[in-house]
Chain A
Amino acid sequence: MGRTDEDLVRATRAGDVTAFEVLYERYNRRLFGYLLRLVHDRALAEDLLQEVFMTVLSSRYQPQPGRLGGFLFKSARNRGLTALRDAERRRAKLEDRAETEADGSFEANAAERSALNVALEELEDHDRDALILKAIGGLTYREIAEVQSVPEGTVKSRLHGAIRAVRLRFQGSES
């Protein structure tokens, strides 16, 4: 059994770089994947990822058992949406989206990633958001409902609809 998130946060704040590396390893790929799909810009997503982890260093996050994942993804979502609202970033997003999808970093699962990206792009924004927050963020329905300011039942139907649509798309691309 590894160290808990809360334990790692406390150690990180005390300057324990090794503890921070464990924490980073635990969340960086999921958070970055989420941010990348939110802003469609690798450099911006990396900047935002850095900001999200910085909040752990500050006293804004009070360690509570089992809460770090939700906190990090909420923070990532807020920062991603704020960045998206920036007019310049939005313009850059359209230019960089092609780069993100064509930069060759998805070698192993290029076809599957491409199919998933297409399937995700076809979803409504809030459906896609619910799916990603659940699938890799691990947020509960209640947490997603708070983030999206909708009832839990709405989150559930959004998630079910999104999963159904993505699976259908995958099955279509396989046949």
Chain B
Amino acid sequence: MTLTCDQCREHLIDYHYRETNGTTSRAVASHLSSCTSCAVEYCRLDADLGGIAALLEDEPGPRVLANLEREVRHAARPKRRLFDLLQLRVPIYQPMAVLLATGAMWFFFTHLALPDETDSTPSPSSAAEIRDYDARTLISIQANVL
């Protein structure tokens, strides 16, 4: 593929930015190596684009780098927040086991461990006897004294 000067110059910007395909790049390079006029034009374009890029750059204030360095140090510090705990991966059997254990405890205490409420109410006499104290004996002692 050979190029005329006009065709070559059409490609110079794309060639500079490496946006031409392999065939075109080789054709442009070949033309530039043999055509002084286009080679000079390419040098000027290269310098202009380099100059534009340099002029477009600008220096931010030092506070930006200082703030960012602080953030880098801060971000790398090991930490565990409540939110991180919420994100912890837990195997499915763990909450299932907790639920089962809770259910079993509820069933045990409500159905097996506590005796029937009517049986658990002692009669006045038996309650007294349990504590080895019978209030009726006191009454008989008082009657004997008097």
Chain A residues in the interface with B (C-beta under 8 A):
12-17, 20-21, 24, 28-30, 32-34, 36-37, 42, 45-46, 49-50, 53-54, 57, 105, 109, 112-113, 116, 131-132, 134-136, 140-141, 156, 159-160, 163, 166-167, 170
Jot down 23 A-B pairs with beta carbons below 8 A, ordered by A: A14-B76, A15-B76, A15-B77, A20-B72, A28-B59, A28-B64, A29-B58, A34-B56, A46-B61, A46-B63, A50-B67, A50-B68, A53-B64, A57-B75, A113-B55, A116-B55, A136-B53, A136-B57, A156-B19, A163-B13, A163-B49, A166-B52, A167-B45
List residues 66-80 of chain B with CB under 8 A from any CB of chain A.
Answer: 67-69, 71-73, 75-77
Contact indicator B14/A17 (Cβ below 8 Å) = no
A/B pair count, beta carbons within 8 Å: 92
Residues of chain A with a CB closer than 8 A to B56's CB: 30, 33-34, 37, 116, 132, 135-136
Which residues of chain B are near A134, meaning CB under 8 Å?
17
Q: When the two chains form their complex, are residues A57 and B71 in contact, meaning their CB atoms are under 8 A apart?
A: yes
A13 vs B71: C-alpha distance in the bound complex, in angstroms?
Answer: 10
- Residues of B within 8 Å of A33, CB to CB, are 56-58
Which chain B residues border A21 with CB–CB below 8 Å?
65, 69
The reply to whether the CB of B95 lies closer than 8 angstroms to some CB of chain A is no
Asked if A140 and B19 make an inter-chain contact with CB atoms under 8 angstroms apart, the answer reads yes
Is B124 located at the chain interface by the 8 A CB criterion? no
Residues of A contacting B60 in the complex (Cβ-Cβ under 8 angstroms):
28-29, 32, 45-46, 49
In the complex, which residues of chain A have a beta carbon less than 8 angstroms from the beta carbon of B55? Answer: 109, 112-113, 116
Chain B 10-69 interface residues, beta-carbon cutoff 8 Å to A = 13-14, 17, 19, 45, 48-49, 51-53, 55-61, 63-65, 67-69
CB-contact partner of B75 in A13, A49, A112, under 8 A = A13
A135 to B53 alpha-carbon distance, docked (Å)? 5
Q: How far is the CA of A148 from the CA of B42 in the complex (A)?
A: 28
Q: Report the Cα distance A12→B51, complex, angstroms.
A: 32
